[in-house]
Structure 1
Amino acid sequence: MTRRLARFLPRRRRSSRPPRRLTALLLAVALLPLVPATAQAADPPVPPPSAPAARSAVAAMQPGWNLGNTYDAIPDETSWGNPPVTRALLQKVKSQGFKSIRLPVTWGIHQGAAPDYTIDPVWMAKVRQVVDWALDEDLYVLLNMHHDSWMWVNNLSKDHDAVLARYSATWTQIAAEFRGRSARLVFESINEPTFSDTSGDDENYRLLAELNKVTHRIVRDSGGGNTTRLLVLPTLYTNADQGRLDALATELADLRDPMVATTIHFYGWWPFSVNIAGYTRFDATSEQDLTATFDRAYNTFVARGIPVIIGEYALLAYDHNRPGIIQRGEQRKYFEFLGDYARRRNLTTMLWDAGQFLNRNTLQWRDPELFAQIRSSWTTRSGSASSDMVFLPKSSAITSRTLTLNPNGTDFQGLRHGSRNLVRGRDYTVSGNQLTLTAAALTELAGDRAHGVNATLEARFSRGVQWRIDVISYDRPVLSNALGSTSGLTIPTQFRGDMLATMEARYDDGSNAGPASWTSYQQWDTAFSAYTGDSIKLTSEFANSLKDASRVTLTFHFWSGATATYYVTKTGSTVTGRTV
């Protein structure tokens, strides 16, 4: 990782749920094609294809769901905000179309001392109960060693023998506990493997190969169903850069085990997935990053008969507690495209859900529309449009508005408002893929033109999930002067129907201001946020990054296309914000 890209690592999230772990964030950085993995000295050996049973098992696991932030939580299952697991939860997951669950487990904090490293029997019993419930529901289960990867396994290079002894003892106990379970129980050696104080990728690859080989030997030698149980082995960081894939291909060629699959993780083009550098849309760059990643996994493994599981996928900044970081329609486009392309590349996907998708207290989806989009993507494509919002300036006369349709292989069939079909030619026109809403129709839909959503339309396509379009009345947002400190600045804001998209920050000399000095467009949550209807907040991290006594010009970009200019100056520990 270059020094410049080291700045990409986001800080801990301010959220009611715990942050995604640092290794996942390292993964996100590694996904950037700007940082190619160390190239292999020569073409890696071609691993033998997996057995038909392995390929059919991975195919049968599609789609999968992660029981995240529960048994991987620290120190206990409810510590990160989720309730205890019930069988009803697993029944709900199955009823929604999922065929498998990934069960992340952090073992190390529930272990005794050396040399036995005995796993707490109460903890083991909890894990065993969930495994058995899931198997009884006819679900596949992918059981792993999770946060141990960065808590102690990462010290393998500097404390080799002790770490390897503990790792071996842990897997010996797991293998013994579950060797009698059905073949629908699958083992994953280690989550997001990372190593500290190494000389570079070559050493990292060697250490990971050693861990994977130890897991393989222990599981196969433990007897029972483990002799042929499917084993899932990760790349370094579970990243899909070609060097990582090639290193794992070399491992598989050495193991020559037909009951092995591989795994990577995917959280999207990093700037889009966290809203930085102006990447507020799922655009061609984000799309190309996804297709290139999935193509590499396909060409390296799937095309050679070795199945691939995307053991985690989502967006790094997606969180029901923090709406707005990634705009709703752009989220839907991302998940729709991901599901379709994974299907075309025969990749099994497992949604990372730490409680932000399925509310485990109510067993209801927090955003049913988004989940409907995810679910539909498993089998078909859905149409969309360039935006799911049409903004009408309240202070101006209403004129027609045009959106670009993205049929994605479907046929556009019309617009609907509630129970009423809009009339083509009168309410809207279509020319090629250009959908135009007439001024007359928008005037009727806007009603009294109160700030905010006045009406919601449904763009109907021949299959998949229909596309929502909100008709919104707005006026240019109004910001007010404010006084704060290096702890942060709250800017009183009248949004007046509009929504914040992103923020630019520059000094008077034109240079970038803020913690992400490599771009003028700062990261949502790291530098700023807007979660309430009355203010925009600048974070302490942003305030502390500013040069003393140097004025910063902020440009707030809103989804209507409007902008607002604001000036901030830090003097000692005082931060002053002004509109002029």
Structure 2
Amino acid sequence: MRLGAIAAAAVTALTAGLIGAASASAAPEGCEVEYQVTGQWSGGFNANVEVTNLGDPVKNWDLEWTWADGQRVTHMWNAKDKSKAAAAKATGQGHSSTLATGGTTSFGFAGSWSGANTDPAEFRLNGRLCDGTVSDPSQPMTAVEQVAAMQPGWNVGNTLDAFGGDTGGETAWGNPLITEELLQTIKAEGYNSIRLPVAWDYEHTGPGPDYTISSERMERVAQVVDWAIANDLQVLVNIHDQMFTKELPDDPENVLAKFNSMWGQIAERFKDYPSELSFESINEPQFPTDTANQDAHTATLNVNFYETVRATGGNNADRLLVLPTWVTNSEQPHLDALKATIDELDDEMIAATVHFYGFYPFGVNVAGVTTYDEATQQDLVNTFQRTNDTFVDNGVPVIVGEWGVLGYDYTRGAVPNSPQYGELLKFFQATAHQAVEEQLTLMLWDAGSYLNRHTLEWRDPLLKAYMDSGFTTLSGTASFDSIYLEKAGTIADESLTLNRNGLDFEGLWQGDTALAEGADYTVSGDTLTLTAAALTRLAGDRAYGTNTTIEARFSDGLPWAIHIITYDQAQLSDVSATMDGEPWSGWEPCDASCFAIPTEFNGDQIATMEAKYADGTNAGPHSWTAFKELWATYRPDYEAGTISLTPDFFNEVRDGEPVTLTFHFWGGGTIDYTITESGTTVTGTSA
């Protein structure tokens, strides 16, 4: 039987280390599929599938179908099997992953059946139904198509949204001016859109009743938008200021007058711009004086934004408009409230937006959540699934306008474990992968932590590779990225659990040299065991720290690094010091404001820290947990040999009462240390 598809308006692909580009302009696309059962027996069958591309070339194709009778794929050849139960999915591999115009590829599979073996009713190539027709590129893109073409996106964070500071304006928060070269770099790195957060208020907007936005600010934003569109990037412009809109519950007349005036001016300036420009109502709306009605206040802003922009006419009559939930929260009540607003507006060119920074305890290393554990994984799956169920499945596209982890900040220097590096890689790749599964478009929040704006180079190319690859592949990993060997101890066999993620494990390598299965390692089920002999060789002279790094390789995706580390138990010294008592913002480095514990780390690193009083109750901030937040309350400095406790920690410690700190180390041990605050003097003693 033959079926066809208008192929997806945008395809996210990973080729030559870059995510494939997708233009905001539609291109002719379509396909057809021939499906044939080639053999059938009791409980099983074989089938062949042939895919022909009728439109523009498609990179990294995938084909999806479902069975009404519960059949399952049991084995697939000439394509990668990405099936999940009755939802079957095949993706191209190697040279067959690209389909030229008129190109054909085929694959086969074995399946199981029970009761009936009805052919699939439809196939979808890269998300679009097959019917043998070809799309008309002259037709405007739908909201769903346009949002899909934005994948992936990048925030120019802490730049046009910056204000104050000694320098003022765009550079006030440490980033350089936006240049066309920056946007060209972003495009070359595989991004298809930028989110441009803009502070229009403060020194840029005059007093009421006109609230005139300065021409300098308006034209600077226009310059950046022009550069982006000229370099084939879609642009999402918002009002990033929340300060004046927080007053909406107490002063609705003046807040709405200002909000509507600002959006009226912005919309009028850009009303003739092409569809590659879209508008977002406001960033993270919040109303601290009336939390009971926060969804209603959010709806008020969204509706006023919508009506103001549409009323300006021109291309704003059908421009894509993006509406946030309250504080861009993705809990179900807030999703439902925004869905009700969108239903009432009854406009097909609307998208929803939420933000995602992961499971909070994981993202900031608090409450003892130090790994990408089951709770963290489930939080990701649940968040994206309910967002899909509420909006995407009902025809409303979703932009995750900001994503990342809260604890990842390049200004912290070489402070690992916020979260732990290997667990961070898992999170970033899984987030991209889950977004594709749930058809959500991601826009990375980057305030300078990922791309160094001064050098236009990625600060961590491996992390970038994990983000990129998640859009097409979920790599194999292991339960941890390190094996710690105690320097004073006898080396024994060490085991890790493989997370195959549907891939085949293909062995261990040290550089270009393959380790020998049997002599160097064994695999039993998902348990990978390195032998004592191999670890002894890999540890070499057993100097403190990382002795070598090996790779676990799988049939697809990125290799998983495993670091062989030698350590001894850390040593914390007694110390007494006077805190300087100066005001401290929490963003500042730890100097005389902090209490520094001299520490010999001896190759080990801290996983987390507990703080308790003598009666067993929790001490310090986040009193609901004994495990304190990394960086906010304690800061290890492995180069300087200190663990610093911050003023924020001492602000919530009872004066004169000893506090027992328990430091948990990745090497597996714990160390107790007692601190006592007495006025401005703090005394620390080892157990």
The residue that corresponds to 2:56 in the other structure is: none
Q: 2:398 aligns with which of 303, 308, 314?
A: 308
Distance in structure 2 (CA, Å) of the matches to 1:531 and 1:406: 32
The residue that corresponds to 1:427 in the other structure is: 520
Where structure 2 has 5 or more consecutive residues not aligned to the other structure, the ranges are 1-139, 580-592
Equivalent runs, 1:327-406 vs 2, <5 Å: 327-406=420-499
The residue that corresponds to 1:36 in the other structure is: none
1:517 matches 2:623: yes
Q: 2:360 aligns with which of 259, 270, 273?
A: 270
- TM superposition shift of 1:416: 1.1
Runs of 4+ deviating beyond 4 Å: none
Q: 2:286 aligns with which of 169, 194, 198?
A: 194
- TM superposition shift of 1:137: 0.9
The residue that corresponds to 1:495 in the other structure is: 601
- TM superposition shift of 1:396: 1.1
The alignment partner of 2:148 has SS state of helix
Q: Deviations over 1:36-82 (max 9, x none)?
A: xxxxxxxxxxxxxxx96110000000111111000001131111111
Q: 2:644 aligns with which of 512, 531, 537?
A: 537
Distance in structure 2 (CA, Å) of the matches to 1:321 and 1:386: 29
The residue that corresponds to 1:553 in the other structure is: 660
Q: 1:153 aligns with which of 223, 231, 245?
A: 245
- TM superposition shift of 1:552: 1.3
The residue that corresponds to 2:541 in the other structure is: 448
The residue that corresponds to 1:91 in the other structure is: 184
* Native 8 Å contact 1:514 1:546 kept in 2: yes
Distance in structure 2 (CA, Å) of the matches to 1:138 and 1:68: 20
The residue that corresponds to 1:103 in the other structure is: 196
Q: Deviations over 1:139-193 (max 9, x none)?
A: 11111000x11x1111111111111111111001110111111101110001101
The residue that corresponds to 2:338 in the other structure is: 248
Distance in structure 2 (CA, Å) of the matches to 1:196 and 1:441: 59
The residue that corresponds to 1:129 in the other structure is: 223
Distance in structure 2 (CA, Å) of the matches to 1:389 and 1:499: 11
1:168 matches 2:260: yes
The residue that corresponds to 1:65 in the other structure is: 154
Q: 2:614 aligns with which of 498, 502, 508?
A: 508
1:476 matches 2:569: yes
The alignment partner of 1:180 has SS state of coil
Distance in structure 2 (CA, Å) of the matches to 1:531 and 1:93: 33
Corresponding letter in the other structure for 1:538: L
- TM superposition shift of 1:463: 1.2
The residue that corresponds to 1:228 in the other structure is: 318
Corresponding letter in the other structure for 1:58: V
Q: 2:214 aligns with which of 120, 126, 133?
A: 120
Q: Deviations over 1:445-495 (max 9, x none)?
A: 111111001001111111112111111011110110011245432100000
The alignment partner of 1:321 has SS state of helix
1:569 matches 2:662: no
Distance in structure 1 (CA, Å) of the matches to 2:304 and 2:453: 36
- TM superposition shift of 1:320: 2.0
Distance in structure 2 (CA, Å) of the matches to 1:321 and 1:423: 42
- TM superposition shift of 1:231: 0.4
Distance in structure 1 (CA, Å) of the matches to 2:650 and 2:340: 48
Distance in structure 1 (CA, Å) of the matches to 2:391 and 2:170: 35
Corresponding letter in the other structure for 2:426: K
Corresponding letter in the other structure for 2:375: T
The alignment partner of 1:162 has SS state of helix
* Native 8 Å contact 2:433 2:473 kept in 1: yes
The alignment partner of 1:556 has SS state of strand
Corresponding letter in the other structure for 1:551: P
- TM superposition shift of 1:204: 2.0
* Native 8 Å contact 2:601 2:638 kept in 1: no
Corresponding letter in the other structure for 1:513: A
Distance in structure 1 (CA, Å) of the matches to 2:234 and 2:557: 27
Q: More relative contact order in 1 or in 2 (CA 8 Å, sep 6+)?
A: 1
Q: 2:301 aligns with which of 188, 207, 211?
A: 211
1:142 matches 2:236: yes
* Native 8 Å contact 1:401 1:439 kept in 2: yes
The residue that corresponds to 2:632 in the other structure is: 526
The alignment partner of 1:77 has SS state of helix
Corresponding letter in the other structure for 1:177: R
* Native 8 Å contact 1:488 1:538 kept in 2: yes
Distance in structure 1 (CA, Å) of the matches to 2:480 and 2:568: 19
The residue that corresponds to 1:9 in the other structure is: none
- TM superposition shift of 1:228: 0.6
Distance in structure 1 (CA, Å) of the matches to 2:294 and 2:610: 38
Corresponding letter in the other structure for 1:279: V
Distance in structure 2 (CA, Å) of the matches to 1:340 and 1:126: 35
Distance in structure 1 (CA, Å) of the matches to 2:286 and 2:651: 31
The alignment partner of 1:465 has SS state of coil
* Native 8 Å contact 1:460 1:467 kept in 2: yes
* Native 8 Å contact 1:358 1:364 kept in 2: yes
Distance in structure 1 (CA, Å) of the matches to 2:307 and 2:163: 29
Q: Which moved more, 1:550-559 or 1:482-491?
A: 482-491
Q: Deviations over 1:399-433 (max 9, x none)?
A: 11111111111111111111211111111111111
- TM superposition shift of 1:115: 1.6
Distance in structure 1 (CA, Å) of the matches to 2:651 and 2:402: 34
Q: 2:347 aligns with which of 237, 253, 257?
A: 257
Corresponding letter in the other structure for 1:70: T
Q: In percent, how many aligned pairs have the same letter?
A: 50
Corresponding letter in the other structure for 2:214: D
* Native 8 Å contact 1:482 1:489 kept in 2: no
The residue that corresponds to 2:142 in the other structure is: 53
Q: TM-score, normalised by structure 1?
A: 0.89
- The structure carrying a bigger helix percent of its residues is 1
Q: TM-score, normalised by structure 2?
A: 0.75
Corresponding letter in the other structure for 2:259: Y
The alignment partner of 2:170 has SS state of coil
In the alignment of these two chains, the number of paired residues is: 526
Distance in structure 2 (CA, Å) of the matches to 1:52 and 1:125: 28
Q: Deviations over 1:77-113 (max 9, x none)?
A: 1111111111111111111111110000010021111
Distance in structure 1 (CA, Å) of the matches to 2:505 and 2:380: 26
- TM superposition shift of 1:285: 0.5
The residue that corresponds to 2:43 in the other structure is: none
Distance in structure 1 (CA, Å) of the matches to 2:177 and 2:471: 29
Q: Deviations over 1:495-522 (max 9, x none)?
A: 0111111101111111111122211111
Distance in structure 1 (CA, Å) of the matches to 2:350 and 2:650: 50
Distance in structure 2 (CA, Å) of the matches to 1:81 and 1:376: 30
Corresponding letter in the other structure for 1:191: N
